[in-house]
Amino acid sequence: MIRLPLSWVQFLIDIGLLRRCHFLVKDVPEPPDELSDGFVFREVRGGYQKWLHLKCPRCGEHIHIQLAGARRWTISIDWLNRPTVAPSVWQTGSCQAHFFIRKGIIDWCRDVGAPRQGVSRYV
């Protein structure tokens, strides 16, 4: 599938033709040193997906998700660079955030990972 360059997607968001989602995808050859809000980083080495890196939307901690091996998540990316990740993401380390990422939007689960008061489900 053809994907628009991120600069074009950002331009469409800036002029108001697209609504900003929580996450867009950036492909990287190695783990990023710093994570940026609003992006998931798909680590691709030798043409193979290895890891997905993102900043926890609740506590800001680095979440890395395995995309290779027997126990892995899947990621699909639409033409606007919006990720859909399956199954859900559960930050078991610190804040217990539990959510799905669907077309770049965070969809909070209604268990222990539900958002704090004042944290919206959508942008």
Backbone angles phi, psi at 38, to 5 degrees: 90, 0
Tens-digit pLDDT profile for residues 99-108: 999 999 999 9
112-117 contacts: CB < 8 A, separation 24 or more? 115/58, 116/58
Which comes out higher in pLDDT, residue 113 or 70?
70
Distance, in Å, from the CA atom of 82 to the CA atom of 40, rounded to the nearest integer, reads: 9
Domain ranges of the chain: 22-108
Tens-digit pLDDT profile for residues 52-84: 999 999 999 999 999 998 889 999 999 999 999
Distance, in Å, from the CA atom of 14 to the CA atom of 8, rounded to the nearest integer, reads: 10
